[in-house]
Structure 1
């Protein structure tokens, strides 16, 4: 279930998060299937995160960060 977002800020953040995950995945020359397998999540879950189609679970983000060998904060923090 998606949170109420009258200002659109959550949607903007969701898109930015998905873009960061996708950029790191592509930087490491990984397919969605390969990253999802390494992270121990479904490819469809990764697809929804990258596409900003849902609110990802913290456990999924943690697993993705570990699979990408980066700190979780790097996925959650916007570049300045």
Structure 2
């Protein structure tokens, strides 16, 4: 049985986190490819997270925050 889609408030927050990651990436003058390389992920994963098409694992958020050299709390507040 497929799981139900997340509620709208979850999707809104996911979009906010994706926007914050994209903003921090652009502020650091990084491409999605370079951020992916620094974080040990693939570019498609970064793109899906920034576009709110995927819900990132906590470990991947740690990797992204570390690669961007920002506190995780800046991305998920």
C-alpha deviation, 1:2, in angstroms: 7.2
Which residue is 1:12 aligned to? 12
Structure 1 spans left out of the alignment, 5+ residues? none
Once the two structures are TM-superposed, the CA of residue 18 in structure 1 deviates from its matched residue by: 0.3
Give the CA RMSD over aligned residues: 1.7
TM-score (norm 2): 0.91
Q: Structure 1 length as normaliser, TM-score? A: 0.87
Number of residue pairs the alignment of both structures matches:
76
Give 1:64 shift.
Answer: 0.3
Equivalent-residue separation in structure 2 for 1:50 and 1:60 (angstroms) = 13
Aligned to 2:51: 51
Gaps spanning 5+ residues in structure 2: where? none
Residue in structure 2 matched with residue 71 of structure 1 by the alignment: 71
